[in-house]
Chains A and B, each alone.
Chain A
Amino acid sequence: MSCMTHFLFFVVLFLFVTPAFHNVVVAQGNVPEPEKPSLYVEVKEEKPKIPFFQGFTLSADVYGIVQYLLWDYGGVEGALRLNLKNTFFPIVEMGIGKCDKEEENTHILYKTTAPFARVGIDFNMLKNKLQDNRLYVGVRYGISKYDFDISGPALEDPVWGGAEPFDYRGISTTSHWAEALVGVQVKLWKKLHMGWAIRYRRELSSTKNIYAKPYYIPGYGTTVNSGTLGFTYSLIFDMNWGMKKMKMKIKNEELRVKNEE
């Protein structure tokens, strides 16, 4: 796929996901303001105490599937993310990556299908932690153990003559990489959220072999450059009972204050 097609795809995608980011920013101002208490009370520096364990989220990435349908590689992945104080989100991501590419000019075939895993943590960057939307940054460590096949047309010896095609199968490789990401999560309906993230990935190491460098690493992407940009667009099931309790508590406090007045 040409450079320009890639770019246009990203522009369309970006226009599609930008409103989601906009929602996060605007949503911060959408919390209904309760009436101010009439009593004057001396203020001391204290923040609302958020319980440590707030819940968890389960998510599935849909972008990988779209990517595979449009291009030669992609995959499916899911994630389990814990919610600690609505601020820290330790996460485990697992999935299967697939690549089946024939290079149009050289006719070299590269094939692999393998599982991968990532572990890491996200940080909610919004000041107001008591809302459903999040803007977060995060880091990941990724690993994949996979076998790949690579084959190509015959290469002719220009001096001595003769030509033999090559076909190397099952080249066993283990790759490690690191990721830094920025993303958003917004509420769609009740516990259903959506989120996207842009990820910068950098390969840390891969098993070396004399025949070929891995072209595609499951969960990482292509190795054309030393670092690569990745994207995830996830549908998220957010089980956040901690915040539900917190909101109930605040609501009860408001009612109590009103009653006292």
Chain B
Amino acid sequence: MKIFVIHRFIKSEMKIKRKTKAQMSHRPLWLFIISTLLLLYACSANNCPLESTVTCNYGFYDSEGVAIIYEDTITVRTLLPGMKTVYTYRKLGQRTVVLDYRDSVYIKNGYSETISEVRRDAVLANKIHDVSSMKVQMQYYSDTDTLIFDYSNISNKDTVILLHDSYSNVELPECGTHRFHYLKEARCTNYGLDHILINNPDVNYKGNENMKLYFNGSAHE
């Protein structure tokens, strides 16, 4: 029996030896597989998000909650810190013109000029129309955003106030820093708007609908 054991062991060694020669012929294949893996690892793709602009996304609805395309023109402004000088030109029977700079042409044409100090503002959405949604940037280092909705067909303006937290976020160091926000509360006046709701409080670059804007009236009327 013991002789047999040794004999078997030798036989198994011979088998292994034969197999080894076969394995050696596959060596280029091993080299190819491992080299490919290493190449893939060494040249990995850039994993930064393609859409990296952080905006608060608003969806438009009628007062009953039906998604709508809003055909009126809307301009969204926000108030900025500090004051600015504005020049207002008026003439009987003519449309009043408000400019950030002095324009002597209006004075030559008989307009009266009024110089006043007003709160600075910036346009966040300029004359949008025929849209069902819009994207608006949020303030990085203040917890309150005041937005003024200016409609072309409604004389009064709506004011929307958003309360939020903001924080810096790094997905990967090579992708840089983004400022994300968390919506806490939203309020509005009711000239063109019926009411507003927070849909998804996490404002980031993933494109979720964060706010629902419900306009006065019904799409079925």
Contact = CB atoms under 8 A, between A and B. Distances in A.
**Physical interaction between A and B:** yes
Interface of A: 3-4, 6-7, 9-11, 14, 18, 21-22, 25-26, 28-29, 31, 33-34, 36-37, 39, 41-44, 46-48, 101, 103, 105-106, 108-110, 126-128, 150, 152-153, 155, 157-164, 166, 168, 198, 210-213, 215, 223-225, 228-229, 250, 253-254, 256-257
Contact of B7 (A10, A28, A37, A223): A37
B186 interface: no
B177 A155 contact: yes
Nearest to B43: A3
Contact of A211 (B34, B44, B169): B169
Interface string B169-213: 111111111011000000000000000000000000000000000
Contact of B23 (A25, A103, A163, A213): A25
Nearest to A9: B42
Contact of A157 (B10, B30, B45, B140): B140
Contacts of B80: 159-161
23 contacts: A11-B38, A29-B20, A106-B177, A108-B170, A110-B173, A126-B16, A128-B13, A150-B170, A152-B176, A153-B177, A155-B140, A157-B139, A158-B137, A159-B139, A160-B140, A161-B80, A162-B140, A162-B141, A212-B170, A223-B172, A229-B38, A229-B41, A253-B2
Given A162-B141, A212-B169, A48 B38 contact: no
Pairs A-B, 5 closest by C-beta atoms: A7-B42, A103-B173, A157-B140, A6-B42, A166-B168
Given A157-B141, A159-B139, A160-B139, A106 B3 contact: no
Contacts of B13: 31, 33, 128
A3 B40 CA distance: 10
B81 interface: yes
A246 to B, nearest CB: 11
Contact of B6 (A9, A37, A101, A210): A37
B16 A28 contact: yes
A250 B173 contact: no
A210 B44 contact: no
Contacts of B78: 159-160
A34 B177 contact: no
A31 B9 CA distance: 11
A176 to B, nearest CB: 20
Interface string B145-182: 00000000000000000000001111111111101100
A210 B167 contact: yes
Contacts of B23: 25
A111 to B, nearest CB: 11
A59 B55 CA distance: 52
A41 B3 contact: yes
B124 interface: yes
A44 to B, nearest CB: 7
Interface residues of chain B: helix, strand, loop or mixed (majority): helix
Contacts of B137: 158-159
A35 B65 CA distance: 92
Given A18-B31, A48-B9, A128-B12, A106 B174 contact: yes
Interface in B1-47: 2-10, 12-17, 19-20, 23-24, 27, 30-31, 34-35, 37-45, 47
Given A47-B12, A128-B12, 6 more contacts: A25-B20, A26-B20, A46-B5, A108-B170, A160-B81, A168-B168
Contacts of A105: 174, 176
A47 B6 CA distance: 10
A46 B173 contact: no
Given A39-B3, A157-B140, A108 B9 contact: no
Contacts of B40: 229
B16 A14 contact: no
Nearest to A152: B177
Contacts of A110: 173
A213 B81 contact: no
Nearest to B175: A106
